[in-house]
Amino acid sequence: MPELDGRIALVTGGSRGIGAAICAELGAAGATVVVNYVRDESAAAAVSARVRDAGGRTEAVQGDVSTAEGAAALVSRVESEVGPIDILVNNAGITRDDLIMRLSEDDWRMVIDTNLGGAFFTCRALSRPMLKRRAGAIVNISSIVGVHGNAGQTNYAASKAGLIGLTKSLAKELGGRGIRVNAIAPGYIATELTDALPEEARTAILGNTPLGRLGEPDDVARAVRFLVSDAAGFITGDVLAVDGGLGI
């Protein structure tokens, strides 16, 4: 029997890239997967179809987690229409890169509100139901940039570093009720964002990655599947680097 059979998983930002791979992986593990999206309904529908084709159960649900109201409405809708959420994956994220001397306040706030605020608002909205049920698994998708920093990404790095602090604090706060909270710090993953990298930057990244390749979204998705499963039942507050050794 698939290890997540009977569980309901909410994946924010699930309509593309790493989020889409996570939805497919959790569906293959037996979970009912809620594919959250903000604007691209057709992309979310395509991810849902991918989950169904693999034999999984799924729903696509619109919701903007970058606001407290949007996150609370999303959690409430899923809990009432789909069922109690057992697994939360905070994957929603954006980039607005620039050197700090040119970085606008709007680009700073937008990245912080989406990447860090979205995870905070969603965790806060779901904390009470999970505490009542005395069970749950949360995975926050951080980044190796949140561990080591990166020039031209002060807003993104700050948001992803904040996710690590959020993860560790929530692990201490919620662990007594059986709720586990972990983070994953992906390295450079082959998605639309890395497709836009100049060849010189791509060559430099590969040269600094011991495994000598970019990661695939499935590499991150398999790590998420492990962390939310019972096989990781004694793991909480951890940050798992899925980076090909880039952070060594």
Is 156 a catalytic site residue?
A: yes
> Amino acid identity, residue 153?
Q
Q: What is the pLDDT of residues 139-194, one digit of tens each?
A: 999 999 999 999 999 999 999 999 999 999 999 999 999 999 999 999 999 987 67
Residue 215 is encoded by which pair of tokens? 């990661």
Q: What is the pLDDT of residues 41-89, one digit of tens each?
A: 999 999 999 999 888 899 999 999 999 999 999 999 999 999 999 999 9
pTM of the predicted model as reported, rounded to 2 decimal places = 0.96
Q: Domains in the chain, please, with CATH?
A: 8-238 (3.40.50.720)
Token pair 């190796």 in the structure block, residue: 144
Residue 180 is encoded by which pair of tokens? 């586990």
Q: What span, in angstroms and rounded, lies between the C-alpha atoms of 9 and 58?
A: 9
Cα 235 from chain centre = 17
Q: Judge residue 133's burial from the number of C-beta atoms within 10 Å of its C-beta, 0-12 exposed, 13-18 middle, 19 or more buried.
A: middle
Which candidate in 121, 156, 188, 226 is catalytic? 156
Judged by DSSP in three states, 155 sits in helix
